[in-house]
Amino acid sequence: MAQPTPHESAQRARRVDAMVVAVLVSLGAFLLYRGWSFYWLDLDARLDHVDYDQLRPSGDIGHGYGILGTLLILGNLLYLARRRFARANLGSMRLWLDLHVAGGLAGSALVLFHSAFQFRTGVALMTGVSLALVVVTGLVGRYLYALSPVADMARLEGLLREFEAARPGVTRDVRAAIEAHRPLMVDHHASLLRKLVLAPGWLRVARVRRRAVVQVLDTARAAEGTRDPQVFVAFRGVAGDIAAQDALADGFTSLLQSWRALHRLLAILLLLLVPVHVGVAWFYGYRWIFE
């Protein structure tokens, strides 16, 4: 089976992202629609609401939200197993990551509605804060993943050959522009804080490098004697993008690894608090349909 082109992969990724957003927005809209008249009331006024016995944290629906949300969050552990067996033919890592994000956000939304937007015990508060930290670090990690491209250097080499055929000497100038704008690298074992400090510099170098490569190609296109100027018009932006991706790849990949470690640590803390929260609820008789 033919491998999809980068353009096809990008289109497929955008479709999956759009579907994930649509599902999450639909879920949030449904949860708000189902209980808006209850959730917007203060705690005392909720006691007289017709859905109080259903939507309160220990109610049939509210408790069900919590259980379903917890199952979705625990199901996210499958993503860690998928990463452990990265070479297995179990679907693309990008798809698994999208499902990981969708499951985490959907589960967190359900847990939030389970709480009815109130945290009245210390255990519930700690669990809620831990969940919020896991969600925030997960979303930041997803953003860092998008900034950790794998530069298609083979394609850049092919473009340089086309540029060289159109105007000899342009390859040398492009390579010189790339070498002149090297990001400051950091050891992979450096602290997360150190990498975060360097990240803005990596982004700045990537922007400058892209402009430098595009400027070299624009100059070559305008030079007298260029035999095929259209190749510069068609691919100057592509070459600049690849050069910029190369400037970001190593640094942001290393940063992403460190950020994942922080995300995992917070997730472990959450997993330790969940059984405590469930155990306390069970001890006080809040057992949903298992009473």
Please give the torsion angle defined by the CA atoms of residues 122, 126, 128 and 129, in that order, rounded to the nearest 10 degrees.
Answer: 130
What ranges in the chain are assigned the alpha helix state H?
6-39, 43-46, 52-55, 60-75, 77-84, 93-114, 122-146, 153-166, 170-180, 192-222, 230-283
Chain centroid to CA 239: 26
First to last CA, the chain: 54
Which pair of tokens denotes residue 48? 């007289």
Question: What is the pTM assigned to this prediction?
Answer: 0.80
Q: Give the pLDDT confidence score for residue 93 in this predicted structure.
A: 82
- pLDDT tens track of the chain, all 291 residues? 455 555 566 677 778 788 888 999 999 999 999 999 999 999 889 999 999 999 999 889 999 999 999 999 999 888 888 888 877 777 778 888 888 999 999 999 999 999 999 888 888 889 999 999 999 999 999 888 887 877 888 888 888 888 888 788 888 999 999 999 988 888 888 899 999 999 999 999 999 999 999 998 888 877 755 556 666 677 888 889 999 999 998 899 999 999 999 999 999 999 999 999 988 888 877 777 656
What type of residue sits at position 132?
Answer: A
- Predicted local distance difference test score (pLDDT) of residue 230: 67
User: How far is residue 123's CA from residue 125's CA, in Å, rounded to a whole number?
Assistant: 5
Q: How many CB atoms lie within 10 A of CB 274?
A: 17
Q: Which residue has the tokens 């289109």?
A: 11
Q: Report the candidate in 131, 95, 126 with the shortest Cα–Cα distance to residue 111.
A: 131
Confidence at residue 1, expressed as pLDDT on a 0 to 100 scale: 45
Res 4: pLDDT: 59
pLDDT of residue 210: 93
Handedness of CA 80, 83, 85, 89 (dihedral sign): positive
